[in-house]
């Protein structure tokens, strides 16, 4: 057999194997497993055993988290987690986060807290309400907004 014929025969054999595997996979049967690799589970996922958390419980939990913050990494991790939910944290949570940033002497994170609030609110009016409510604390802590640092 010539080298070219041998190459064609091996290519046909590989193509036939991959077609068989694809057709078996698409038909719903289990794909062939490699040694040491677990198969996919075919059982349905169970519903979460955790109960839904109310907004008040969320607020209390994050206020407590920010009061116990020991370093900048922990502060930023808690902020990321708080802003990851599909809601805007209450002003009391923002107050606790700002006080934690001040306690850790982390000015950039304090400025970014307001950027996070600005990106989470639905409209500019809500952002203005947050700013108005947190104005005394901002002045006390000396936190300048990004808009104040970099005017357009």
Q: Are 64 and 35 in contact (CB under 8 A)?
A: no
Q: Are 66 and 93 in contact (CB under 8 A)?
A: yes
How far apart are the C-alpha atoms of 95 and 66, rounded to whole Å?
9
Q: Are 59 and 93 in contact (CB under 8 A)?
A: yes
Q: What is the pTM of this model?
A: 0.65
User: CA 66, 113, 107: angle at the middle one, nearest 5?
Assistant: 85
pLDDT of residue 44: 53
pLDDT of residue 144: 87
pLDDT of residue 11: 58
Mean pLDDT by 10 residues, the chain (152 residues): 59 52 48 56 58 88 93 94 90 95 93 92 93 93 84 77
pLDDT of residue 137: 93
Q: Domains of the chain by range and CATH?
A: 55-149 (1.25.40.40)
pLDDT of residue 25: 46
How far apart are the C-alpha atoms of 138 and 24, rounded to whole Å?
64
pLDDT of residue 133: 94
CA torsion sign for 51, 54, 55, 60 is negative
pLDDT of residue 78: 94
């Amino acid at each position: 057999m010539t080298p070219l014929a041998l190459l064609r025969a091996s290519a046909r054999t590989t193509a036939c194997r991959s077609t068989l595997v694809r057709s078996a996979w698409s038909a719903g049967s289990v794909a062939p497993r490699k040694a040491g690799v677990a198969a996919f589970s075919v059982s349905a996922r169970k519903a979460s055993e955790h109960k839904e958390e109310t907004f008040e419980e969320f607020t209390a939990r994050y206020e407590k988290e920010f009061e116990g913050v020991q370093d900048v990494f922990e502060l930023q991790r808690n902020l990321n987690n708080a802003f990851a939910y599909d809601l805007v944290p209450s002003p009391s949570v923002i107050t606790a986060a700002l006080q934690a940033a001040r306690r850790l002497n982390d000015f950039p994170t304090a400025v970014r807290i307001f950027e996070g609030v600005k990106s989470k609110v639905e409209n500019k009016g809500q952002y203005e309400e947050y700013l108005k409510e947190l104005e005394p604390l901002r002045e006390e802590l000396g936190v300048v907004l990004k808009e104040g640092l970099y005017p357009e």
